[in-house]
Amino acid sequence: MLSGSYTEAGDRGRVCVSPGDVVFHGAYESHRNDVSLSGADVLVVPWHGGIPSSLGRIDDVDAVVRAFEKGVDAAARAIAQAVTCTTLAPMDWPDRLADAIRCDPFLHLETWAERHGLRPETVSRGFRKAYGVTAVAYRARIRTLRALDAMASSRSLVQIAADCGFSDQAHLTRSFSALTDASPSAWRRRLARS
């Protein structure tokens, strides 16, 4: 982030982004940005390494901009050398719910709401307002991302479906295909070839 500010809500949580912040995104991750009235200048650099964290901080943003003038790869190297990874701190209950969903793909949303003194309708509306999707849709997406990560393992698709919170392999296949435009079997064949 070069200047301005925005709030980003996505698959790894919600954060207020300000100058010097670095937000990392993995493949197939989605997010929603609520940009402040003052706007935001953002430098987007493809990241080819592993995702070290959801959020990082750079003290000298101008050094990254100067590196970017030499090319995208130079900017990525400058970020990798200068970034200090930080953790997301929950802002309020929608963030705590998102964190609980990421930790437990089997989370029963009504039970969570009751435990936190909230009505299920309040949870649905409040979560949608913060994240742009309902908690049910968010949980389904998190399950699918977990399954995507598990495709490189030797576990069967039936086992991956069960481990990730899907009712059966067909449910996994529908969700996975909607995200990647490929079936889990085709994805595994592609991984085997690479």
**Grouped pLDDT means (10 residues each) for the chain, 194 residues:** 90 90 87 90 84 85 94 92 86 94 93 95 94 94 95 95 95 95 94 87
Hey, is 110 helix, strand or coil? helix
Q: Give pairs for 151-154: CB < 8 Å, separation 24+.
A: 151/184, 151/187, 151/188, 151/191, 152/191
At residue 194, the pLDDT reads 81
Q: What is the pLDDT of residue 55?
A: 87
- Here the tokens at position 133 are 């999707």
Of the candidates 68, 67, 76, 59, the residue with the CA atom closest to the CA atom of residue 20: 59
What per-residue confidence (pLDDT) applies to 19? Answer: 93
How many CB atoms sit inside 10 A of residue 33's CB?
14
pLDDT recorded at residue 12: 87
